[in-house]
Structure 1
């Protein structure tokens, strides 16, 4: 393009440089992952199988969450519950954040402890919290987990985890309006065999609905279309297989992706880093 004929919009777009760095930190505590990120890219709708607690270190982002659309800025605590559909778009320029992801049994043990055994599960009620004290608690938790090389550090991590969970906990889980039973059966079909081929007509038949009625009912219940939900379940299966030592090519095929490159594109779109990097982090390289 002739620079003399560039519009203001062209110049503005040309000035936008993709910035994206995600570091997976080596953690010795089973069931915990730590991510350090700095990025100006947007993440599409996706889910995690774990609880997530993070801190926005700089910049800001807007996102869809389990409580609707929210905005988080530097100093804010951000959370996500297992299976909760969310996305993320930078507000202005890059934003930096740190996340800790916990297997559900770890946080559920915290829920049980802080409720004196009354509740074995719960959820994080606030997708964004501006409480400065909680930011300090997160920093203590993050530091303890990332330096957990001995009994003293593990004790500090366990204590900080309980304090953080108590500050964020909402129990008991509110009752959800159950969808039409057929929608649950169709979702179970995806959950039971995410690597297998399926179709909208097959899922609608399982639900006992017309295809369009099923599409609307499924999206209303799960927050995403059946296809998007299937991709998330496949990505969860990929992560499980990688943790079990399966190589990337076999993990892609077993999870229903056409090839490794397709799996990698979907993995990066949801998590911001490649399955290869995840495999290295798991193997301790």
Structure 2
């Protein structure tokens, strides 16, 4: 989704968009995933990457995007499945614009269902399989209503077991180790504020660092460094919402200083942290 100017109005987040015709509405927040519905009349968003799955449905128009080096066009009824850390953009494929719903789910949540199997990968990023459309309905319908916790868990389980069935088993070259990757993830979460090297992760997991780096991409969809950076940026945003300055938030999150944080913030969200802060201060 575009990360322009964000302001909070109760549980609704309104985003400053390329056109006055455009809009984005967020569903009530849950602790496990993010859901939204949006309309764009022409340009939607510039190239960017999530460290989550982005799974959605085109509701009207033609949703065009560049993904893995090729132009893609999603039509109403088709389901999008964008793999973590894959760059993509978005724009209308015709003059009528496009409307869609999207949800964002972390690889960690996927692994609670997959139990150490490689993350499913849908080639091309678009599915017309009715099994997967049915599996997403529970999470993509009625965004204005909060999800019941048990309903949400059941829907997530159905989503990833179906995605695994639709995509098939992912072939992995060479041996890989989920336990090592998961231990590295926990180590990073426990040590966000201190410098961490791949050698540190290798030592704590007992896995050689190059194999561990490959393991992490297989099971969590991104590199250890990018995972660590995104979790630190999450901490920066939470600190700013709590009233702390960018300088304080940067250091507390584990960045060297504010400028170090700013470089990563722009790459991740497409906007400077200073502009982001100005926007959330607006009534």
TM-score interval, normalised by the smaller of the two chains: 0.5 to 0.7
TM-score by length of 2: 0.55
Give the gaps of 5 or more residues in structure 1.
1-19, 109-120, 146-156
Partners of 2:239 and 2:80 in 1: how far apart?
A: 28
Question: How many angstroms does 1:234 deviate by?
Answer: 1.2
Give the aligned partner of residue 47 of structure 1.
51
Given that 2:44 and 2:89 are in contact with CA atoms closer than 8 Å, whether structure 1 keeps it comes out as no
Given that 2:62 and 2:92 are in contact with CA atoms closer than 8 Å, whether structure 1 keeps it comes out as no
Partners of 1:128 and 1:91 in 2: how far apart?
A: 16
The alignment status of 1:87 with 2:87, answered yes or no, reads yes
Question: How many angstroms does 1:52 deviate by?
Answer: 7.2
Equivalent residue in structure 1 for 2:6, among 12, 24, 35: 24
Given that 2:184 and 2:201 are in contact with CA atoms closer than 8 Å, whether structure 1 keeps it comes out as yes
Question: How many angstroms does 1:73 deviate by?
Answer: 3.9
Question: How many angstroms does 1:26 deviate by?
Answer: 3.7
Partners of 2:58 and 2:7 in 1: how far apart?
A: 16
TM-score by length of 1: 0.55
Deviations along 1:20-52, one digit per CA (max 9) or x if unpaired, are 9834354311637869774563214x325x987
Give the gaps of 5 or more residues in structure 2.
12-27, 115-120, 171-175
Query: Structure 1 residues 180, 274: CA separation in 2 closer, same or farther (over 3 Å shift)?
Result: same
Equivalent residue in structure 1 for 2:232, among 220, 227, 234: 234
Aligned pairs, number:
228
Given that 2:54 and 2:80 are in contact with CA atoms closer than 8 Å, whether structure 1 keeps it comes out as no
Partners of 2:258 and 2:215 in 1: how far apart?
A: 32
Using CA pairs under 8 Å that are at least 6 residues apart, name the structure with larger relative contact order, 1 or 2: 2
Equivalent residue in structure 2 for 1:187, among 185, 188, 193: 185
Equivalent residue in structure 2 for 1:60, among 44, 47, 64: 64
Quote the RMSD (CA, aligned, Å): 5.3
Equivalent residue in structure 2 for 1:214, among 212, 215, 231: 212
Given that 1:24 and 1:278 are in contact with CA atoms closer than 8 Å, whether structure 2 keeps it comes out as yes
SS of the residue aligned with 2:239? helix
Query: Structure 1 residues 27, 91: CA separation in 2 closer, same or farther (over 3 Å shift)?
Result: closer
Question: How many angstroms does 1:202 deviate by?
Answer: 0.9
Equivalent residue in structure 2 for 1:253, among 232, 251, 254: 251
Partners of 1:172 and 1:139 in 2: how far apart?
A: 11
Instruction: Give the number of the structure whose alpha-carbon radius of gyration is greater.
Output: 1
